[in-house]
Amino acid sequence: MIALPEPLASSPWGPRLAAASAAVRGAGRGLVELRGTISGTESAGGQLKTAIDLAAEGWVLGFLEGSFPDDVFLAEERFDRAGVPWTGAPAYWTVDALDGTRSFVEGFDGFCVQVAFVEAGVPRLGAIYEPVADALYLGAEGAGAWRLTRDAALRLTGSRATALTAGLRFVDSTLPGPPVGAIFDGVQGVFVECGSVGLKICRLLDDAADVYAKRFQPKLWDVAPGEALLRELGLQLGTWDGQPFDYAGTRTHYDSVLGASPALFAQLVTALAAA
């Protein structure tokens, strides 16, 4: 078990961080053994689903619910199968036990296990485990964002790009299409390939990318863990129209995602509206 850096261990979120760390790493180890060996089916919403999505979520939920039996959970597979609207909660966990199912099924590296704890409408902590790299991204309000491996604990600084200038690094699973593609071409962008939503946000945390802009249907469990970490670095996450994700209400699905430094975020909102 990886020891938490002192700022994380001593923070008010320490017990939940320790449980989140163990939950995502436990599920992730099992996923590594099975990647590329499981077939999937397209759901009604166009997402690829496998039996492993449900099994991985069972592990994560079993661990967290056993540790915090009075907490509320918004978990992807459980929510989708329940067929009832999310009514919101003052405090709750988000659980995405296999983010990047297509990469997992096809045997690629770009999948992760991720959870967040939300309180009073703010993601207070996040844990994102990248199983193939055996890297844990962990952070909490007031304690920073970190990348933990067996050999090192690195405090993250994130991308600091502040303007639409040449060489900006855009992270996505495919080359950006319109209208992001027009911005990408205009600044002679550099393409950073990555699979899951959670890991795309991690590339911003790693300072391996500067911009994440995609039109699709992100859900709260896709973005809450990464946003908890981005907030610790002063980076911004929201939708193409510049609005934040609402973690206090009853909405779970959105239509786009945009992540960057605040100054660059504002410029991208303007550029996307013009495009």
The closest of 264, 234, 262 to 158, measured between CA atoms, is 234
Q: In this predicted model, which residue has the larger pLDDT, 119 or 107? A: 119
Is residue 270 pLDDT above 60, yes or no? yes
Is residue 210 pLDDT above 80, yes or no? yes
Report the mean per-residue pLDDT for the chain: 94
Name every residue whose Cβ is closer than 8 Å to that of residue 115 and which is 6 or more positions away in sequence: 20, 23, 24, 60, 64, 93, 94, 95, 96, 126, 127, 225
Query: What is the value of pTM for the model shown?
Result: 0.95
Q: Which CATH number fits domain 6-155: 3.30.365.10, 3.90.1280.10, 3.30.540.10, 3.10.150.10?
A: 3.30.540.10
In this prediction, residues 4-25 reach a mean pLDDT of 97
pLDDT digits (tens, 9 = 90+) for 29-46: 999 988 877 766 655 455
Band of pLDDT at residue 218, cut at 50, 70 and 90: very high
Radius of gyration from C-alpha coordinates of the chain: 17
Cβ distance 124 to 141 under 8 Å? yes
Measured from the Cβ of residue 251, the count of other Cβ atoms closer than 10 Å reads 14
Distance CA 103, CA 113 (A): 13
Q: Which two tokens stand for residue 232?
A: 């610790």
Strand locations in 158-269 (E):
169-172, 190-193, 212-214, 236-238, 257-260
Domain ranges of the chain: 6-155, 169-274
Band of pLDDT at residue 226, cut at 50, 70 and 90: very high
Q: Which two tokens stand for residue 25?
A: 């790493």
H or E, element range at 225: helix 220-232
User: What pLDDT was estimated at residue 263?
Assistant: 98
Distance CA 64, CA 58 (A): 10
User: What pLDDT was estimated at residue 47?
Assistant: 66
pLDDT digits (tens, 9 = 90+) for 162-202: 999 999 999 999 999 999 999 999 999 999 999 999 999 99
169-274 domain in CATH 3.40.50.300?
A: no
Angle at which helices 220-232 and 197-205 cross, to 10°: 10
pLDDT digits (tens, 9 = 90+) for 73-86: 999 999 988 989 99
Band of pLDDT at residue 257, cut at 50, 70 and 90: very high
Angle at which helices 14-34 and 51-67 cross, to 10°: 160
